[in-house]
Structure formats: C-alpha cells, structure tokens
Amino acid sequence: MSTATATVVLMPKLSDSMEEGTILSWLVAAGTEVMAGQDLLEVEADKANMTVEAEAAGALEILVEEGETVAVGTPIARIGGDAGAPVAAPSPGELATASKAPAAPDAPVATPVATPTPTPTNGAGPLGDTRRSTPLARRLAQVHGVAIDLIATGSGIGGRVVKADVLAAAGIESKTAPEPTPAAAPEPVSEDAGSGAAARVETPKGGSETIFLSRLQVVIARRMAEAKATVPHFQVETEVRMDAAIALRGELKAVAGDGPVPSFNDMIVRAVALALREHPKANGSYIDGAFELHDKVNVGIAVAAEDALVVPTIFDADRKSLGEIARDSRRVAARVREGAVTPPELAGGTFTVSNLGMFGMTAICPVINPPQAAILGVGKTRAVLQRGVDGEIEDASLMTLTLSCDHRILYGAEAAEFLGAIRDLLETPLRVAL
C-alpha cells in the first residue's frame, strides 16, 4: 500500500538575521484543502510580520500551533499526504530554501499582513479583526476590549488599523495609554509572555517593574553586543558648514509645491550615496577574511519605532534624485511607525545613517550594523561664531558628522577621505541636488 507524498512546510527565514519565528495565526484551518500560492499563516520574525504562502495544493496538517516559537527550518505543517503519517526529516535542499533570506528587490513592494477573524471566547474580549491591522493594534485591542472590526476606517496605509485608531476607540490619548492594572499578587512572568509583558514586584528598592523585550528588541540587543565584541571600531569626526545647504532648502521649499520638501537628512543620504559610489570599500563588508564590495548602494536610515530602532532601506540611493530619496524616506519611515514595514524593506542595506539631530544632540557615535563597514552619526545643526578667511568674526551653521568604522576593512586615511567627501558634497549642495 503506497503512501501519498506530503509537502513539508518549514519555518522560513524572513530576514538575514532571523534565527527563529513565532506563529501568530494560521489563516487556514487544519484539514482544509489549500491551493498553491494561497496565504497559509502569519509569522512574527525578528524585524516584521509576514504571511507565508502554500507551495503546494492539498489538505493542511498543522504541526506547530499558534503562539509557538520554533527555529528556522523546523517543520511546522505539511500539505497533502496521508493523515497521521510521520513527518519525514526535511532534505538539505528544503533546509537551504528555508534558511535563505529574501533578496532585497530593486523596487520593494510592501505587502501588509492580513489578519484572520478570530473566534471570541465566551463573549469576552474584542471581536475578530476582519480587516488589516498591526500586531500592536491587535494587542492593544485585546487589553482595552476594543472590537477592531467595528473601527470604520484605519488611519494606516490602505486603511490599516494602527495603534492610534485602537486608543482613540478606547477613549485614550496615545501619549498616555495606561498599561493593564497588575494583579495584587502577580505571578512571575516568563519570556514566553510575549512582547511588552510586564511583572511588578516589591523589593527593597521599592516597586520594580520588569518589561520583557519584544523579538525585535532582543535581536537589536544581541546584534549590538556582537558588534561591540567582535568588530574593531574606530571613529573619525568632522564638522560641516551647512549655510549653503540651509539656503538651498529654503529655495526648494519655495518651488516644491505639493511634493515633499527634502529634509537635511535626505541631503545627507544623497551625499552619502554619492560618496559611497566613489569609495567602494565603505560600501562593502568584511566577511571571513575577505572584502566583499557590493554593486548596489543601499542606504539604511535609522527610524525610532515603538520601543525599538528599525532601519528601513533606501535602495539604489546613488541612482535616485534628491526628490526621490525624500519621497522614499517618508514612505518607509511612516510604514515603520505604523508597524507595516516588511522584511524586504529592511534587508539589503550596505550603509546606515543615524541622525539624532532632531532630538537636539550635537553628536552621536553610533554602533556599526554588521556586516556593514561603517555607519554615519549625524548631530544637530547649531549656530556658532567663528573667524572667516580674512579673520573677521562671522555667523556660521555647523553640523557634526561622526563615522564609526570597521577597522578590518576601512583604515584611518580611507575613512577620513570618505567622510571628507561627504562634507564637501554638503558644503556644495547643488552637487547633491543634481
């Protein structure tokens, strides 16, 4: 008697740093006949949530339940085959496919995650979300008893329900959203409690609250610790006179019309991209005793998200105009803040810009994002008095740039030349605007 062949579904690798994933929800019930290409489940990766499609047709057998976290390459379901038959170990080819991170597209298309309609339990809690919503919105809806599917229109992209919509429906201002009231005698909360779970205990120090990290925060902490421990850092710093850039932005404001006015950060990204094209080692990586120089110039921009720092990518930044960079940066930053950013939009970066100037910081020494060769820290533009070329005292606007470098691929003189090229472009900003 022959046994029908089943297609094993493995936990996929959705980003270059993903090691494990959590099954948020199965979009198809066990035993249902699925079609190839049909949305199968929603997975929480280290950087974003994604839907996984069925690669074959047949009846679905679920091996890993919702809420469970498993390593990349672990069998989580199978499609087709005889029910109850043992799951064969995945072949090396299947493991390689699951472990392969998605390549960064030339023009990344963001696909928001569709959330299935859950069944209310004993009539308690919010009703099921029949439209798209962010994971944070769903968690807040559960806490505050909000029925997401009764929210008329979400304020996110494509009508997606985001945090602010849930808090508004609950009658809470987003800046002062209260946390659930802890029980009088709380039990210890394990790491399995999930993102943002907290336990409050009384200690000799007074009240103490433990807040468990989200998957993204855990990944950030681990990668930054690895970078400081394994990458030999050094920094070079320079000051840029921004008077000409300020004047140019004023002119761009006057002619921008309804389009976005490029920010100073957009100018910096454009200057960095042009300088990277002329300094390929700064656009490379040190990997296993070799220099890997990348063909594309993809600049990541650090964006402060909900309790984390996320770095979406501006792809082919050296080939884009200043206006295109301005539009791209606003789009991806908005998607990060709404929780709608996808792994392809976070992958493929070859260099990173981290700007804390808008927070009033005069300088920042950022930590390299491995395996990139360097990261640029940007401080605020500040007014100073300095002597001119003829010795006269004059007003000037200065901005501090700090370049953190991997000494295995970039040496001091090379780093200084690269940072000097960025400075020269910003001090003659018409070259950036071309």
> 284: domain CATH number?
3.30.559.10
Rg for the chain (alpha carbons), in Å? Answer: 25
Average pLDDT value for residue range 226-246: 90
Domain boundary among the residues 66, 99, 132 is at 99
Q: What is the pLDDT of residue 113?
A: 41
Task: Say which range, 9-18, 106-115, 149-158, 374-383, has the weakest mean pLDDT.
Answer: 106-115
Give, for 217, the enclosing helix (H) or strand (E).
helix 215-230
Catalytic site includes residue 144: no
Domain boundary among the residues 34, 69, 99 is at 99
Domain boundary among the residues 69, 99, 129 is at 99
Catalytic residue among 144, 233, 294, 407: 407
When pLDDT is cut at 50, 70 and 90, the band that residue 399 belongs to is very high
Same domain, 253 and 396: yes
Same domain, 237 and 95: no
pLDDT reading at 91 higher than 70: no
> 87: domain CATH number?
2.40.50.100
* 323 within some domain: yes
| Mean residue pLDDT across the chain | 79
pLDDT reading at 191 higher than 50: no
Number of structural domains, the chain? 2
- Looking at per-residue confidence, does 433 or 307 come out higher? 433
Of 139-148, 251-260, 368-377, highest mean pLDDT: 368-377
When pLDDT is cut at 50, 70 and 90, the band that residue 254 belongs to is confident
* 326 within some domain: yes
* 391 within some domain: yes
* 165 within some domain: no
* 139 within some domain: no
Q: At what angle do helices 264-278 and 322-337 cross, to 10 degrees?
A: 120
pLDDT reading at 272 higher than 50: yes
When pLDDT is cut at 50, 70 and 90, the band that residue 364 belongs to is very high
Q: What is the pLDDT of residue 19?
A: 77
To the nearest whole percent, how much of the chain has pLDDT over 70? Answer: 75
Which residues form the domain of 355?
229-433
* 146 within some domain: no
169 exposure class (CB count in 10 Å sphere: 0-12, 13-18, 19+): buried
Please tell me the distance from the alpha carbon of residue 212 to that of residue 197, in angstroms, as a whole number: 6
Measured CA to CA in angstroms, residue 20 lies from 30, 45, 48, 64, 385 at distances of 23, 7, 13, 13, 54
Q: And the tokens for 422?
A: 């960025």
